[in-house]
Amino acid sequence: MTKHKGNKLADMPVGPLLISMALPMMLSFFIQALYNIIDSMFVARISEHSLTAVSLAFPMQQIMNAIGVGTGVGISASIPRAMAQKKTEKAHHLANTGIFLCLCYAVVFLLCGLFFAHRFYVMQTDVPEIVSGGTTYLSIIWIVSSGAFFGNLFEKMLTAGGYASLAMTAQASGAIFNIIFDPLLIFGIGPFPKMGIAGAALATVLGQVLAAVMAFLFNHKYNPSITFAVKDIVHPRLEAVKEIFRIGFPSMITIGLSSMSSFCINQVLLAYSTTATAVYGIWLKLQNFCFMPAFGMNNGMVPILAYNYGAKRYDRVQGTLRYSLTAILCLMAVLTVIFECVPNVLLDLFSASEGLRAVGVTALRFTVLSLVFGGACIILTSSMQALNHARYTLAVNVLRGFVLPAGLFWLLSAITGKLDLLWAAVPCADLLACMTALYFYRKMKADLSMDINE
């Protein structure tokens, strides 16, 4: 078995390697999720309608996130594989093609922010405060989307090169900026203007821009496997585009379908009340917070899997999968117990009214039951992407991202007509998706065994 001296992806023991790669990203994603929650907490202090407006914007933010994360996953898996195969020129073209793609995304969402934000709200509600506040919020998020796309890309490049701590530093810096400037810009503290919901959006996009700039500078200074060249950015390689999308497309589908699912579920809930929609928005932020360690583990795990799969180090592949899955299952179980015990405390973070509390306690007690199944799905599907089984990931993600949650919410609403029972759709959807993921995981393990025997 060939050793790859000087490359920790090849030589460092799997347990410590996974900790060194995943822990910084888990902390970084934790901080990012924390500022998402804090953002909603401050917005909730403006009014419940403002919280609803931000909740309705969340599916559109998920679409941006889907594209950025999918591209980043494609980068974080394809570059280490190229490095393992000693194809440095290919790694260079992959990195520069990723920059070109992010430029394209930023232009598209700039146009969306200018022309489509208002239409998005009026098609869902006629409450003036929700439409006005939501249009302002989403317009800013879309118009200044470049920070979100480039931040994802440059952070994944750092992770792909083994510099997870630098990726964490960049992402955490943007999150901390957001946390600090959220109240300053929302409420007009000190010399800052009182901007309300626009301040929340502005703090978010400026934090993303800061994280992107820092991640770019870290790559330029510390990551020798990545080089940037304007001529290669403006002349992207088609084969690089194909490889990035081939690996990253399942992630785009996952988050993109989750966005569509959130939109459809919001339409079901709006038939009951805008408060139900606000509660669902709170759950999405809390769910995102809980799953951030899994996403961080995913970010640390994928380069290790991709490199060692490319180098045919299957023992390290299996060890990485085992450690990752065990850690996330344990963490999700602990979070489930904690959240089941304190639903009122969680709702108080969002300045819950009596009406919101009446709906929210039941909702949270149901929805947190999904955490263990959802965490397992994230690790299993990410491993399939990194190990050239993206078609399995796509199948699971279509089910988990859209078909099961949206379908079950609609079905329970049609059958029962009771809001309290609708929340059972969340754990049921993740349970069924997890069972499907386990089935495909076993098929993938059989395929890898065949590779080893060959």
Report the distance separating Cα 256 and Cα 63, nearest Å: 5
What does the alpha-carbon distance between residue 158 and residue 164 come to, in Å, rounded to a whole number?
6
Please report the pLDDT score of residue 441 as a whole number: 87
pLDDT at residue 7 in the model: 63
Q: Which helix (H) or strand (E) holds 21?
A: helix 14-46
CA distance 169 to 396: 32
Burial of 238 (0-12, 13-18, 19+ CB in 10 A): exposed
DSSP element (H, E) containing 296: helix 274-310
Q: How many beta carbons lie within 10 A of that of residue 44, not counting itself?
A: 22
Measured in degrees and rounded to the nearest 5, phi and psi for residue 361 equal -60, -50
Quote the pLDDT of residue 363: 95
What does the domain layout of the chain look like in residue ranges? Answer: 8-449
User: Could you tell me the end-to-end alpha-carbon distance of the chain, in angstroms, rounded to an integer?
Assistant: 15
Q: Nearest-CA neighbor of 261 among 403, 371, 438, 149?
A: 403
Please calculate the CA angle 326-390-71 and round it to the nearest 5 degrees.
95
Which residue has tokens 């998706």? 433
Nearest partner of 7 among 313, 297, 318, 321, judged by Cα? 313
What pLDDT sits at residue 451? 54
Query: Based on C-alpha coordinates, what's the Rg of the chain?
Result: 21
> Contact, 340 vs 259, CB < 8 A?
no
Q: 420 near 435, Cβ under 8 Å?
A: no
Integer angstrom CA distances of residue 99 from 106, 140, 187, 232:
11, 22, 36, 10
Q: What is the pLDDT of residues 232-276, one digit of tens each?
A: 788 888 888 888 888 888 778 777 787 888 889 999 999 998 899
Count Cβ atoms below 10 Å from residue 1 Cβ, excluding itself. Answer: 8
Write the pLDDT tens digit of every residue in 77-128: 788 778 777 777 888 888 889 999 999 999 999 999 999 999 999 988 888 9
Angle between helices 48-84 and 88-115 (to 10 degrees): 160
Q: What is the pLDDT along the chain (454 residues), one digit of tens a residue?
A: 334 445 677 677 777 888 887 787 777 677 777 777 887 888 888 888 888 898 888 888 888 988 988 898 888 778 877 877 777 788 888 888 999 999 999 999 999 999 999 999 998 888 899 999 999 999 999 999 999 999 989 988 888 777 878 888 898 898 889 889 999 999 999 899 999 999 999 999 999 999 999 999 998 888 877 778 788 788 888 888 888 888 888 778 777 787 888 889 999 999 998 899 989 988 988 998 888 888 888 878 887 887 887 777 777 888 888 888 999 999 999 999 999 999 999 998 888 788 889 999 999 999 999 999 999 999 998 888 778 777 888 889 889 988 999 999 999 999 999 999 999 999 999 999 999 999 998 888 887 665 544 4
Q: What pLDDT score was predicted for residue 4?
A: 42
Instruction: Write out the DSSP string of 345-359.
Output: HHHHTTT--HHHHHH
Distance CA 148, CA 192 (A): 24
CB neighbourhood size of 135 (10 A): 21
Distance separating alpha carbons of residues 18 and 50, to the nearest angstrom: 41
Alpha carbon separation from 61 to 23, 205, 376, 451 (Å, rounded):
26, 12, 24, 40
